[in-house]
Amino acid sequence: MNPAVPYTPAEIAQDVVECCGAGAAIAHIHVRDPETGRPDFRIDLFREVMDRIRGECDIIINLTTSGLFLSGPNLTEKRLQPVTLRPEICSLDVGSVNFADRVFVNPPEWGRTAAKRMQEHGVKPEIEVFDVGHIGQARSLIEQGLVDEPALLQLCMGVKWGIPATAENLLFMQSKLPADAHWSVLGVGRAQLPMIALGVLLGGSIRVGFEDNLYLRQGVLAGSNAQLVEMAADLVRTLEREPATPNEARQILGIAQ
């Protein structure tokens, strides 16, 4: 849907380096088949992307453990392969949800197993929540001691059949968060700009990029992830804040430097 989406490890890594230069502190990474561009989950692709990034910049690397496009046996172990590479962060989807025409299945045992494995490998989970009940599941993992504090939650707003991306819903989600948690918000598609603006004003962090939105403005496709980061960084400064550097973000999130 956008010809600028990177496919190969070299293209993905270069995009991340440019995003770091534009003001991003963390890069959330999926990999693709280098030939077809289809979503992939090969560990060698993740490893190559990580190695290329670490040779160029100090951005915090956040690898996906999403199983949305995976099938077959041993799904939990397949999804947890990126954890073995010991990035600083891995995403952790704790609740099931309908995604438009498919089901994103994340049973309770998956959340417990994944949280424990990340803890054992010294990887901080970025807990992705798509509705308010998922925050309750995140709280349970924290209370069980499976997620080290301060916890990090990503409020995913505007996915079809997840919680709609409205100001009222963001305030409601924020009110349900653990008291000491750090949080970030994303808005899908046209909801990206209003959600990140409100997220900054409410004291949260923000996420932008091709995973959530392909457009720089209405009718104008973004030419790169870095363009979306530049837009977000400009917004942050307009609201009289300053984007965190990667090392400042490590301090905020309690990640060892």
pLDDT at 27: 98
CA-CA distance, 5 to 126, in Å (whole number)?
23
pTM over 0.75: yes
- Which domain does 134 fall in, by range? 67-253
Rounded to the nearest 10 degrees, the angle between the axes of helix 192-201 and helix 167-175 is 40
Q: Is residue 36 part of a domain?
A: no
pLDDT at 48: 98
Q: Is residue 222 part of a domain?
A: yes
Q: Residue 237: how many CB atoms within 10 A of its CB?
A: 12
- Peptide bond preceding 246 in cis form (omega within 30 of 0): no
Identify whether the C-beta of residue 62 lies closer than 8 Å to the C-beta of residue 89: yes
pLDDT at 71: 86
Q: Is residue 19 part of a domain?
A: no
CA-CA distance, 55 to 78, in Å (whole number)?
27
Amino acid at 144: Q
Instruction: Specify the CATH number for the domain of residue 212.
Output: 3.20.20.70
Q: Is residue 31 part of a domain?
A: no
Q: Is residue 58 part of a domain?
A: no
Count of structural domains within the chain: 1
Report the 3 state secondary structure along 3-27: CCCCCCHHHHHHHHHHHHHHCCCEE
Q: Select from 225, 248, 236 the least CA-distant residue to 15.
A: 225
Could you report the average pLDDT of every consecutive run of 10 residues in the chain (257 residues)? Answer: 95 98 98 95 98 97 94 93 98 95 94 98 98 97 96 97 98 96 97 98 97 94 98 97 97 91
DSSP reduced 3-state for 97: strand
Q: Is residue 216 part of a domain?
A: yes
What is 15-60 written as a DSSP string? HHHHHHHHT-SEEEE-EE-TTT--EE--HHHHHHHHHHHHTT--PE
pLDDT at 72: 87
Amino acid at 62: N
Q: Is residue 20 part of a domain?
A: no
Reading the block at residue 169, the tokens are 């819903």
